[in-house]
Amino acid sequence: MTKRPLITIAIGGLAAAAMMVASLPAAAQDVDFSGKRVEWIIPYGTGGGSNRWARFYVPWLQKALPGNPVVAVKNMPGASSTKGTNYFARRGTTDGLSILGTSGSTQFPFLLGDRRVKYDYADWEVILATPVGGVVYVNKSLGVNSTADMKKLQKYKLKFGSQGPTSLDLVPLLAFEILGLNVKPVFGMKGRGPARLSFERGEVRIDYQTTPAFLKRVMPLVKKGVAIPLMTWGTLDANAKVVRDPTFPDLPHVGEVYQSMHGKAPRGPAWTAWKAFMAAGFPAQKMIVIKKGTPAPIVAAWRAAAAKAITLPGFEEAKNKSLGNYEQAVGAQAETLKKVATAVPPKAKQWVLDWLKTRYNKVP
């Protein structure tokens, strides 16, 4: 029997969403956002995957929310997303008119105890969780055209635009090291969008983007022959084994690339830590959250709206095109993925903290 990806098992498909809408509490049916404006804080700039994800969801949520309010995205980039997230934790309201869009680069500083973090995921109710993948690509000038050529990359000193080592970029930085690539990060990027622009300007020759930004922004570069996609992070199956990303089934995952380059399967504490943080960063890579303390009927109305949005006619086709072939999680399934995304095994966390100190002299 073929094991399904962990993401799919955790979510359970559209049937759960339909049941959730059907069981909407009576009190929630009295919630009405007519004439209201919802502020959706995205703690990233306008050029990355989080912005793409949020703006994809805006029209669907406007259709599904009671009273069809305006949903306005407010981009607040800075400090590996902690600036905008701290703002939400401090200023976000509990009237249903203020929501936050998180990403792995919001989760990782929280997981690692980054001193900039003034927020706690325990203070938030999750409304929806979106699994996302990641694709690594290089400039054609490197002469690497497929996984079979990956060993050629070892002779280059490569720059990589990064938000910081405690952001979601921890996943690519550790993957590059596991593979034996000589990659020097250029820290300080305000999101993956600026990093991609550095790639387009030729300032860096290796980059990665999450699925939404890759599909929208990088695929045109692939079609022009400028960008060469090489691998994905993959996802985890029910046995916690890394398997191929369902949106990019023709691309190998990191483990396959390691096998190809080194003639053996990856193993050891670095690989174990990488898998733990990949699982925390990507199965629930993006979440819509609302503050705890929001009245229960409003929370229920939001959850019902999210469940309705993903069942609207045309949503599935549009989602696959913009966000990738991943099922969206709502209700109890979203809660399950939130737990996965906001906890890592203590040994993996300590290994990464030691690695950050040794490799980058970085203490979160």
Alpha helix positions (H), the chain = 6-11, 14-22, 49-64, 82-91, 104-111, 170-179, 192-200, 211-213, 219-223, 254-262, 269-281, 296-309, 315-322, 331-341, 346-360
Write the pLDDT tens digit of every residue in 152-195: 999 999 999 998 998 899 999 999 999 999 999 999 898 899 99
Q: What is the pLDDT of residue 190?
A: 84
Residue 85 sits in a domain whose CATH number is 3.40.190.150
Residue 199 lies in a domain: yes
Residue 252 sits in a domain whose CATH number is 3.40.190.10
67 and 176 assigned to the same domain: no
Write the pLDDT tens digit of every residue in 183-217: 999 998 988 999 999 999 999 999 999 999 999 99
271 and 321 assigned to the same domain: no
Residue 13 lies in a domain: yes
Residue 358 lies in a domain: no
Helices (runs of H) and strands (runs of E) counted in the chain: 15, 13
Residue 351 lies in a domain: no
Residue 362 lies in a domain: no
272 and 293 assigned to the same domain: no
Res. 121 pLDDT band, cuts 50 70 90: very high
224 and 317 assigned to the same domain: no
Strands (E) in 179-253, as ranges, are 182-187, 206-210, 227-232, 235-236, 242-243
Residue 357 lies in a domain: no
Q: Say if residue 9's pLDDT is above 80.
A: no
Q: Distance of CA 236 to CAs 9, 119, 178, 240, 305, Å?
A: 10, 28, 18, 5, 29
Q: What are phi and psi of 113, to 5 degrees?
A: 70, 35
Residue 120 lies in a domain: yes
Q: Taking the chain, what is the end-to-end CA distance rounded to the nearest angstrom? A: 43
Can you give the residue range of the structural domain that contains 159?
Answer: 134-280
65 and 199 assigned to the same domain: no
- CB-based contact 289:128 (threshold 8 Å): no
66 and 185 assigned to the same domain: no
Residue 159 lies in a domain: yes
The number of domains in the chain is 2
126 and 185 assigned to the same domain: no
